[in-house]
Chain A
């Protein structure tokens, strides 16, 4: 099982701060695609991903028990 955390507007769009789902063995890109479809998330593909609080790229594979966070980059200033 994996815990998935959502930051900023992603949290509002999903309606939860975190969800639990089993995505072990899948790549970050695959999980983004899955969640984008499930929750109708427009800009998940440009969000940065952390696995266990460490930066992860789209090719990284998620393991059982990993905590995955999606952090959308923002541009305001």
Chain B
């Protein structure tokens, strides 16, 4: 039964003992896009006991360049990514217990899903979900591994509740309007490099080799040939509301969440961002036009034509997503454009 893992067990820091530990562990992976595809495949091949995959999107043609679990057939069938990922991973290793969850990783859902989980892998595409995930991880004392990438630039950091600084210590607040893969693109090697850092750390945690963990914040740019490793011992903030002594887990509360609602009688969802802030419409319009989105606008709003939807973004960050009644899909479209 262990034949398929023989080369991994030959690796001294894992061994048979480590392999058995790995087999007893449950990993929760949030997101099944590029990071999720690659993280999921490595952990499934490695023989993790159970992998739960959460994703709210379905497979599209523009995913195939880097999201390695998916095929043209998945695009034709518009399969939810969580479902397509589960099918592919089951074919790769039937030994692993796989659980696919199609839906938005809201704080309520995360609270349900983390029970009995040994590690959370971040494969999301937005900071709002990451901050909620960070709060949940600290509430239940579960390690999690931040990973993110855009263009040729990627980064990763391992967060161990009670030991390391947390994401909220580093960012202090939700960054407004980040760059996303849908606005500045992404090349597959960036994804693989982030995943290499995430999965190496994941294996260390799952086989309980705590001493081997990397304590630095890694970032790199594969096109511009930059690599940085930032020491984090000074980053822990004792007054942090997510991991400090008077923590309130701010990103689990309703007022800090993006609000979305279906507008009555219309095929439209309204999104209101969690953080009030002016969006620079001129900059956004210039950028989206330059990458071939059809953008129209006036000083108050922008209207963006997409394949099946029309998106109207107002100066205060509010948006109307026309052509859908699906809240998760609308939130996904919004975060793909505005981060």
A residues sitting closer than 8 Å to B (CB atoms) are 5, 7-9, 11, 17, 42-43, 46, 48, 50, 53-57, 69, 71-77
Contacts and interface: CB of A to CB of B under 8 A. Distances in A.
Given A11-B224, A42-B280, A55-B235, A74 B155 contact: yes
A5 B280 CA distance: 26
B230 A75 contact: no
Interface stretch (B31-39, B88-96, B135-143, B310-318): B31-39
A77 B123 CA distance: 6
B37 to A, nearest CB: 10
B229 A53 contact: yes
B221 A7 contact: yes
B149 A77 contact: yes
Interface in B285-309: none
Contacts of B153: 7-9, 74
A72 B170 CA distance: 11
Task: Pick the most buried of B35, B154, B219, B234: most chain A CB atoms within 10 A of its CB.
Answer: B219
Q: What does DSSP make chain A's interface, helix, strand, loop or mixed? A: loop
A74 B228 contact: no
Nearest to A69: B228
B148 A76 contact: yes
A71 B124 contact: no
B148 to A, nearest CB: 5
B175 A75 contact: yes
B148 A75 contact: yes
Contact of A75 (B180, B217, B224): B180
B230 A77 contact: no
Given A48-B170, A54-B233, A77 B224 contact: no
Q: How large is the interface on B (under 10, 10 to 19, 20 to 34, 35 or more residues)?
A: 35 or more
Interface string B25-53: 00000010111100000000000000000
A40 B5 CA distance: 53
A50 B230 CA distance: 7
A73 B231 contact: no
B180 A53 contact: no
Contacts of A5: 228
B226 interface: yes
B61 interface: no
B107 interface: no
Task: Pick the most buried of A48, A50, A69, A76: most chain B CB atoms within 10 A of its CB.
Answer: A76
A11 B127 CA distance: 22
Nearest to B175: A46
A55 B148 contact: no
B64 interface: no
Contact of A71 (B33, B165, B228): B228
A71 B126 CA distance: 17
A75 B177 CA distance: 10
Nearest to B229: A53
A73 B230 contact: no
B176 interface: yes
Given A74-B155, A74-B178, A76-B149, A53 B221 contact: no
A48 to B, nearest CB: 6
Contacts of B226: 7, 11, 17
